[in-house]
Amino acid sequence: MPLTNYPLLARIDSPVDLRALEENQLPQLADELRSYLVDSVAHTGGHLAAGLGTVELTIALHRVYKTPDDRLVWDIGHQAYPHKILTGRRDAMRSLRQQNGLSGFLSRKESEYDAFGAGHSSTSISAALGMAVAAAHANNNRKTVAIIGDGAMTAGMAYEALNNAGDQDCDLLVILNDNEMSISPNRGAMHNYLTRILSSRFYTGVREQSKNILNNLPGTRRFFGRWEEHLKGMVLPGTLFEELGFNYIGPLDGHDLPALLHTLTNLHKLKGRQFLHIVTRKGKGYDPAEQDPCNYHGVTPFDRTTGTAQQGSASKTYTGIFGDWLSDMAAAEDKLMAITPAMCEGSGMVRFAQAFPERYFDVGIAEQHALTFAGGLASEGLKPVVAIYSTFLQRAYDQLIHDIALQDLDVTLAIDRAGLVGADGATHAGVFDLSFLRCVPNMVIAAPADETECRQLLTTAYRHTGPAAVRYPRGTGPGVLPGNELETLPIGKAEIRRTGKRVAILAFGSCVVAAQTAGEALDATVVNMRFVKPLDTDLILAMAREHELIATVEENAIAGGAGAAVNELLADHDLILPVLNLGIPDRFISHGNHAQQLAECGIDATGIESAITAHAATTTLPTEQQAG
């Protein structure tokens, strides 16, 4: 992307340069920034539509606030690509989401302008409140701003933070970026006028002075409060935020740069807790994204001119396999209810939602509620299936234990994106679920080796009476095509894929294919374990007695994972032999493509073979008699 096409943007190496521009130059900068963003994401893939909607807001914030000393806390990071470009990372955007390149999210390690790491949604207000309280404690004049999307406001954590903020004496601005509403010019002009009035020091001063005067007159305090509430309630949807202790301003056209600058300048001067509601258009300025903001929320590399994505694999993904299974099972089972925490498309549920709308529940970004809601359905005899990403299930751990497992309720968890997730990196990697699920009583945990097994194990989990989880990876599998059958597999039974000598490789889920390749090279026995809980005890003990070395392989953290379960089993039976546990090491794995991440962790075929060879060479293997 030659910077000659972006003359103003080429001059912006930090927000200091932005503040040096004339105000009449800022609309051109917005146009260049939006175009540069499209060019960047077309090359790398990433999150596009939300960032296109925050271009003017980002410029206005860095213009008015003295970042990085003033803190901008972006929620999740989908909307923060323009922020990256304006804060010294413009030329590195071609490395976005690639190994050793820029993160697709926000990272304190990456830039001093990233005040708080943001990978999951709905955390910004809590973090910003903490920063604002810290500033008040230090008695400095630092300003703190949280920028949160309307989707993230469906999460309870955002309201917990707002509720707590009402008790804090600090300066905090919360900006609600509402990108689901369309704005007509007439209404926008009126609201911009109201916003300029309501954010002005004159209005705020009159309001406070009126309260002071009227509060001393009998009977007028309640009248004044009601008068103000009803006046604003007629034109503004801010009563809730006012009741939580914020001065509500808006709605404001989030693409009207002069109005944003004027309003933020006024708000910068005010003390206390302020709430600014802006309305933006997701995908603004790039027609394909404006017409289809959902599909342009997150994209693979695409042709900028046509908007056409690069051709990917023709194979159906595990997500697609789950979506087909869900619809097929629902056709056979009228008690099936499907729940998603705001991930209909991402979890492959579009077909189900269209075919069974009365049995489809999108609860918003509310993972805790999703699981307890499922528990409530199950307690009344229904059969809920919760489709959830592994990384998001972490947010609902208490509900999983107390509201489902403790009561042994019949809930099926379809855990997508289990394992490493490529370009989304550490924030979205699902590498802990086996560890935190395995210790929960009453759980059945399964991991399919291919697409056919995915359907079979989903059916097995659904038919099981009690809590059960099936975890499957992002993307495609080895290419085994499933049929429409709804077959079950025996719970806790593994499958020997290859018989060899000396070494037995116990592989879980997505690692089975790589383990088979390594097994061929080593002439090792390879077992597709299928179940992490319960384990196939008899088969594992037989493998231990018949082989000189056991290796376990999983796309999960080694600490507490499936390999640890095998170790515990062998110890319980006083079997002493070398055991090698392969999986995700005790560190966060950064972004890159999936193959690079597997190689980094040593759980691709080459890594498995090398690790077993090295371990065998440095370990005194017991004789068959000692092992027995």
User: Cα–Cα–Cα angle for 275, 279, 285, nearest 5°?
Assistant: 140
Annotated active-site residue in 359, 395, 417, 471: 395
Compute the distance between CA of residue 3 and CA of residue 36 in angstroms, rounded to an integer.
9
Q: What pairing do the DSSP bridges indicate for beta strands 579-584 and 531-533?
A: unpaired
Helices within 480-522 (DSSP H only)? 512-522
Annotated active-site residue in 89, 281, 282, 533: 282
Closest CA to 476 of 434, 523, 510, 508: 510
Closest CA to 43 of 86, 97, 121: 97
84 is catalytic: no
What's the farthest any 2 CA atoms get from each other in the chain? 96
Contacts of 350 (CB under 8 A, 6+ apart): 323, 344
Compute the distance between CA of residue 357 and CA of residue 361 in angstroms, rounded to an integer.
8
Q: How many Å separate Cα 584 from the centre of its chain?
A: 19
Quick one: tokens of 485? 């059958």
Compute the distance between CA of residue 316 and CA of residue 510 in angstroms, rounded to an integer.
15
Contacts of 262 (CB under 8 A, 6+ apart): 196, 199
Q: What pairing do the DSSP bridges indicate for beta strands 525-528 and 579-584?
A: unpaired
Q: Are 51 and 79 in contact (CB under 8 A)?
A: yes
395 is catalytic: yes
Q: What pairing do the DSSP bridges indicate for beta strands 525-528 and 549-557?
A: unpaired
Annotated active-site residue in 32, 56, 367, 600: 367
Contacts of 136 (CB under 8 A, 6+ apart): 168, 169, 170, 171
φ, ψ for residue 360, nearest 5 deg: -115, 130
φ, ψ for residue 335, nearest 5 deg: -90, -5
Contacts of 235 (CB under 8 A, 6+ apart): 190, 191, 194
Quick one: tokens of 294? 């959902």
φ, ψ for residue 414, nearest 5 deg: -100, 105
Provide the sign of the torsion angle of the four alpha carbons 520, 523, 528, 529, taken in this order: negative
Contacts of 612 (CB under 8 A, 6+ apart): 503, 505, 518, 522, 524, 549, 551, 580
Between the alpha carbon of residue 226 and those of residues 166, 231, 241, 411, the distances in Å are 20, 8, 15, 47
187 is catalytic: no
Beta-bridge mates of residue 385: 338, 412
Q: Are 191 and 155 in contact (CB under 8 A)?
A: no
Beta-bridge mates of residue 533: 445
Residues assigned a catalytic role: 282, 367, 395
